Amino acid sequence: MAHARGAPEPAANRRQAMCSRRAPRMLLLVHSAKQVVLVTNSGEKYVTGERMGRLVVWEEPGGISVAVDGDGKIAKVGKSSEVQSAYSHVKFDEVLDASNMCILPGFVDGHTHPIWSGDRVGEFEMKLAGATYLEIHEKGGGIFFTVDSTKERSDVELYTSLKHRLDMMAQSGTTLVECKSGYGLEKNEEMRLLKIIEGVKKECPIEISSTYCGAHAVPRNKSTEEATTSIIDDQIPELKNLIDSGALSVENIDVFCEEKVFDPDQSKRILQAGKDIGLRINFHGDELHPTKSAEMGASIGATAISHLEEISHDGIAAMAKTKSVAVILPTTAYVMKLKPPPVQQLIRAGVPVALGTDFNPNAYCLSMPIVMNLACVTLGMSMPEAFNAATINSAASLGRSATHGSIEEGKYGDLIILNAPRWEHIIYQLGNHHNLIYAVIKKGRVIHQKQCVSSIQY
């Protein structure tokens, strides 16, 4: 019943209002941490240049706490004593003790190809014996092998393997991941893969940013020009219908811009057609050969360009001007023994540099901690540079850095609790992240937790 204006409120209503004013629902309190890696603390959307070499890390003798509200957002980060008194009247759904541990933001994996069937372990052997990526591709291996094998699998089989891979990424600390289609190539298969990714979004513990990558290779029955036309005139309009009807929520468009795949002009037309239906441009460029992909991408407002082993000086300058994010993929350069991408030149020029696993059957890596280690050891990044690249800058590569990529009040409570006294252990202890990560939290809910915590420093 409506209460008459001006008349005193009934006592029960008053009590309820006071109670809800005093005690909003809170999902999570993580308290007493030794260090918290905020990454940024003044709302930066990405970091560049010398700032990439600095990480905002907070340490307090009495420990630091993070409180997450009922919407899964960070409500407060502060000295444990202050957070305790601010919420002394509140019962949190979950409380975690992070004494002698560190709180990190969840990792953002800026580049993955996670939906496919048919591993390529045999090719790994060929690569070790010296075969190049394009030689394997031309012999019907590579992407074509995976496309054929994926076509044979049911929706349920692909759903199950995708979900399993995403669960494993979550256990390695990833809380937001870019997921590409691209092992369908033909319209119906590409849309099928995107729909399966869409279905997994509802069940998966981590968040997904979907990418349409129909131009991942040229189907065997088409010329490159025919494939380009079919993508622009047939696939992208179908994608738009599915997005408009609410069946899909795809955010990005990708093309493999490479010699003998899609040339820069064809890539540009495809990417522009995607942009025209509202997608962000985020594509593979300058990987195996210098094709001036970076210059082309910057000219059409690419949010991000991946790989860049063969980027030119002009390409670096163009990306620095448009602040297109360079998504660096150390696993690919490592597995294929490619020339390392010029990461320090990109950083010095002012390009925001991000990292991704590039998880795919050619480079089978699900772990951002391993990627950060490779980025430091094989590509010459410092640990703060790699950490910024794996969080705030990879969030920027997906247009999500207003809500993800750092521990700041108002952003999502995506956290990792690290059983180590200093954050650098997550990079330094190569391959030991499963032992170091005590808990992974997505929007204030614990999605992975180790049962037995030991304080042994492995």
* Stretch touching ligand NIG by CB under 6 A, among 29-37, 78-86, 141-149, 184-192: 141-149
309 touching ligand NIG, by CB under 6 A: no
Q: Which of ligand NIG, Fe ion, none does 146 bind, CB closer than 5 to 8 A by kind?
A: ligand NIG
Tell me which of Fe ion, ligand NIG, none is bound by residue 386, counting a contact when its beta carbon lies within the kind-specific cut-off of 5 to 8 angstroms.
Answer: none
Q: State in angstroms the smallest separation of the CB of 256 from ligand NIG.
A: 5
The gap between the terminal CA atoms of the chain, to the nearest Å, is 62
Q: Which of residues 210-269 bind ligand NIG (CB under 6 A)?
A: 256
Minimum separation from the CB atom of position 386 to ligand NIG (A): 19
Q: Are 302 and 321 in contact (CB under 8 A)?
A: no
Determine what percent of the chain falls in helix, strand and coil, rounding each to the nearest 5.
40, 25, 35
- What three-state secondary structure class fits 152? coil
Residue 362 found at the interface with ligand NIG (CB under 6 A)? yes
Interatomic CA distance for residues 304 and 329, integer angstroms: 13
Structure tokens at 180: 């590409």
The reply on whether position 48 binds ligand NIG by CB under 6 A is: no
| DSSP annotation string for 376-393 | HHHH---HHHHHHHTTHH
Number of amino acids touching ligand NIG (CB under 6 A): 13
- Which DSSP letter does residue 257 get? B
Distance between CA atoms of residues 137 and 149, nearest Å: 15
Nearest to Fe ion of 204, 213 (CB atom): 213
Element housing 374 (H / E)? helix 368-379
Q: Does position 113 bind ligand NIG by CB under 6 A?
A: yes
Q: Scan for tokens 């010699």, then name that residue.
A: 259
DSSP 148: H
The site partner of 178 among Fe ion, ligand NIG, none (C-beta below 5 to 8 Å per kind) is none
| Residue 64 or 353 having the CB closest to ligand NIG | 353
Q: How far apart are CA 413 and CA 93, in angstroms?
A: 14
Collapsing DSSP to helix, strand or coil, 185 comes out as coil
Question: Which one, 284 or 400, has the nearer CB to ligand NIG?
Answer: 284
- Of the candidates 393, 394, 411, the one whose C-alpha atom is nearest the C-alpha of residue 402 is 411
For Fe ion, the closer of residues 374 and 415 by Cβ is 374
**Residue length, the chain?**
458
- Residues 283-302, interacting with ligand NIG (CB under 6 A): 284, 287
Minimal distance, residue 379 CB to Fe ion, in Å: 16
How many residues bind to Fe ion according to rule CB under 5 A?
1
- Contact between 286 and Fe ion by CB under 5 A: the answer reads no
Nearest distance, CB of residue 261 and ligand NIG, angstroms: 8
Q: Is 200 in a helix, a strand, or coil? A: helix
CB of 393 to ligand NIG, least distance (A): 18
Q: Taking the CB of residue 275, how many other CB atoms lie within 10 A of it?
A: 16
**Residue 330 C-beta: closest distance to ligand NIG, Å:** 12
Q: Work out how close the CB of 129 gets to ligand NIG at its nearest, in angstroms, rounded to a whole number.
A: 17
Pick one of Fe ion, ligand NIG, none as the site partner of residue 143 (Cβ within 5 to 8 A by kind).
Answer: ligand NIG
Establish if 358 lies at the interface with Fe ion (CB under 5 A): yes
Shortest distance (Å) from residue 362 CB to Fe ion: 8
Q: Which residue is nearest to Fe ion (CB)?
A: 358
Choices 78-86, 225-233, 354-362, 393-401; region in contact with ligand NIG by CB under 6 A: 354-362
Reduced to 3 states (helix: H, G, I; strand: E, B; else coil), residue 127 is helix
CB of 89 to Fe ion, least distance (A): 50
**Residue 77 engages ligand NIG in binding (rule: CB under 6 A):** no
Residue among 446, 454, 451, 447 at smallest CA distance from 27: 446
Query: Of the two residues 358 and 414, which places its CB atom closer to Fe ion in the complex?
Result: 358
Nearest approach, Cβ of 287 to Fe ion (angstroms)? Answer: 8
Rounded (10°) CA dihedral 432, 434, 439, 443: 100
Q: Where do runs of H (alpha helix) occur along 216-329?
A: 224-230, 236-244, 264-276, 293-299, 313-322
CA distances from 85 to 33, 38, 76, 386, 409 (A): 17, 22, 12, 36, 17
Identified binder of ligand NIG from the candidate list 214, 285, 352, 361, rule CB under 6 A: 361
Residues near ligand NIG (CB under 6 A) are 113, 142-143, 146, 256, 284, 287, 332, 358, 360-363
Give the interface with Fe ion as residue ranges (CB under 5 A). Answer: 358
